Structure 1
Amino acid sequence: MSANNPGLPGGVAISHLSVYDWPAADGVCGGTPHMHLACSEAYVVTGGRGAVQTLTASGYESTPLQAGTVAWFTPGTIHRLVNEGDLRITVLMQNSGLPEAGDAVLTLPPEYLADPETYARATVIPADAPEEEQERIARARRDLALEGYRTLRAAEGPQALADFHRAAAALVRPRIAAWRERWRQGAEAAAAATGVQLDSLEQGEFPHLAHAVVRSEQPAAHGRFGMCGRLDVYGN
């Protein structure tokens, strides 16, 4: 992302999400439980109904979702989307879409979190695989993540969640340099530009007003298999 292509306001990104209606072992339909480590995420519900189950150090919650609901959560929130009927969401993601570009760890059982290679074998969906194979992998990793999620929910005391946090942080550590660059070119650059504009206005100057632009775009990808459902993705 450059000065000529600053992305959406504030360095956020959006996607349109149709939540999976696949039933799981517990009889609930929905997506893959996971956690973001450096980004907040928001849901603007545009249709259908369901819930988002969340697990943090404060405990378990379930937040109902219906058209018009806006719900958001901060890093460290394990979340699972539940589809109770055609649940559709516009997702707002911090840091230029980093949540869908690596800042997520699925709640797999501990043995799958031991190293990046083991984790990747259980989670990566090859982009060139046939759609049927992509769906099979997406469902398999969802079900595997639910195993770990149910264990975390059932655990007594904070240790199991703390262990998951530690394993997740270790998994993503090699990616931090790339994440930092995305943040610098996105959210940090947007905040810095506002600072420059405020300084100019305070001095009675306004050169940026003469360079106003209007942009629009269509999704760069349709129906991609995401963690929570099928995604229409904008930009990067």
Structure 2
Amino acid sequence: MNTKFFLVSLFLIGALTLNGCKNCESDEYGDELELIVPIETAPSSETIRVGDTLWITANFDKEVMLKDRPLSIRLDDFNFFTEIVVSEITDTSEHFSVEIETIEDVGQISFLPLQTALTYPVFYEEREDAYHFRGGIVFNQEGLFFVNLNTQPLLYESYEHPAMYQCEDKRRRSVRVCYANASTSVENYENVFLQTNVDYLLELMDYERYASIGAFTLRVVP
């Protein structure tokens, strides 16, 4: 009887192990996810006037595309931890305390003062099959402004969501979000952004990085 019980136990353990391996093998995404969130900034004009509004819009399906891979992953009730970052880069320093106002049209914009910067967290409106956001930035001072979107990868290290796991308790090594802005262009990068005198931005921000954060640089004039 003990031998029979022992054999049955081995069979059950083996079946569970095989099932777990099968589930892991069926995960086609691997241990890293890099999500693409499509956005658009408007107007696309590189020069606006004080008091004008730059609109940021995001309307994307819950089948979220992956960067550089012909795959999508379904994400329901997911936090993208999106932040809008606005800085003034006219001279040799990047200034985050700028005179702007925010407008909420679809979704919400919050305000988060960090130790080294100010950011504006975005909260999407989630519907049955998509996420939506439309918010405005009103510029109340002149200057050269660098606008981009960011997600801190560290936030996903403790975030709980089924997409964080390959199977059972095997957590993915990293999850990142990049932003594809229809208004980002080589011309905007070369003709406007590269006019800044902030040395570390010029050193760190090549066009690939610029595009991955949905960046757009504009001049605000009187």
Q: Comparing both structures, which one devotes a greater share of its residues to strand?
A: 2
The two structures have a TM-score, normalised by structure 1, of 0.30
The two structures have a TM-score, normalised by structure 2, of 0.32
Q: Comparing both structures, which one devotes a greater share of its residues to helix?
A: 1
Structure label with greater radius of gyration? 2
